[in-house]
Amino acid sequence: MKEIIIDSAYFGIALSILVYFVSTKIKSKTKLDFLNPLFLTIVLIIIFLLSFKIDYEVYNSSAKYLSYLLTPATVCLAVPLYKQINLLKKNVKAVIIGITVGVITSLGSIFLMSFLLGLTHEQYVSILPKSITTAIGLGISEELGGIPSITIAAIVLTGNLGNIMAVWICKLFRIKEPIAVGLAIGTSSHALGTTKALEIGEIKGAMSSLSIAVAGLLTVIFASVFATFM
């Protein structure tokens, strides 16, 4: 029976959707921020695969097709931005400066951490694009000679941490301006953080959506410069 199930062409997709559904129910019942549905889904699937001794490649053979939805899902984030286009026009200078500073801060912190921890150049460039969406981050990592698997892990971890901790950090530093909150979340934790921004406000979600695209483009430019530092 086990062999029949895992050999199914829909095993990975079905498992991912089912576990994510369960995770959303857990989050809605507990109301705990650290039980982020995506993060919880990752943990539960790992536990499931280890418990039933199912090879990751068996799971990923069909689950990988879910990643094809990542690009159109990211594009859909332009909808809330379009609704706030007038607000964007009024604050375009602050938006550009804010995202640029955020990108440079992200890359600079990775350089400092890598230097202090004695990481190799290959490891360093693998985590440089941690704060941007996977599609762009993987391209940067491969171009700079990084390790794709490390890059994916860094991007997913960063996004989940942003989703879980964004509201708490904004409260800690008393950041209340919707535009500032949205830009901070989107620039630091890409699409995963943006889902949280959309939950807490339309303006925050729109600005976070914008940050994904602009931060991605700026990271493409600045990452090649920072890559030469180590």
Domain borders along the chain are 2-69, 77-229
CB 14 within 8 A of CB 48: no
For 60, residues 6+ apart whose C-beta sits below 8 A from its C-beta are 12
Asked whether the predicted pLDDT for residue 201 surpasses 80, the reply is yes
CB 133 within 8 A of CB 219: no
Confidence at residue 112, expressed as pLDDT on a 0 to 100 scale? 96
Asked whether the predicted pLDDT for residue 34 surpasses 90, the reply is no
> Over the stretch 170-189, which tens digit does the pLDDT of each residue have?
999 999 999 999 999 999 99
> CA torsion sign, 11 to 17 to 20 to 21?
negative
Asked whether the predicted pLDDT for residue 75 surpasses 80, the reply is no
Mean pLDDT of 26-49: 87
Q: Give dist(CA 142, CA 105) in Å, integer.
A: 22
Give the residue, 114 or 1, on which the prediction is more confident: 114
CB atoms within 10 A of CB 168: 11
pLDDT-derived band at 164, boundaries 50, 70, 90: confident
Q: Does the pTM exceed 0.85?
A: no
> Over the stretch 3-13, which tens digit does the pLDDT of each residue have?
656 567 688 89
Confidence at residue 191, expressed as pLDDT on a 0 to 100 scale? 85
What is the Cβ-side half-sphere exposure of residue 70, based on CA atoms within 13 angstroms?
15
Asked whether the predicted pLDDT for residue 146 surpasses 80, the reply is yes
Mean pLDDT of 200-206: 90
pLDDT-derived band at 80, boundaries 50, 70, 90: confident
Asked whether the predicted pLDDT for residue 2 surpasses 60, the reply is no
Tokens of 218: 């700026």
Provide the angle, in degrees to the nearest 10, between the axes of the packed helices 92-117 and 178-200. Answer: 80
Tokens of 51: 């418990």
41, with CB counted inside 10 A (0-12, 13-18, 19+), is: buried
Q: Give dist(CA 212, CA 82) in Å, integer.
A: 14
Q: Mean pLDDT, the chain, as a whole number?
A: 88
Q: CA angle at residue 122 from 117 to 128, to 5 degrees?
A: 75
Which amino acid does the sequence have at 206?
Answer: A
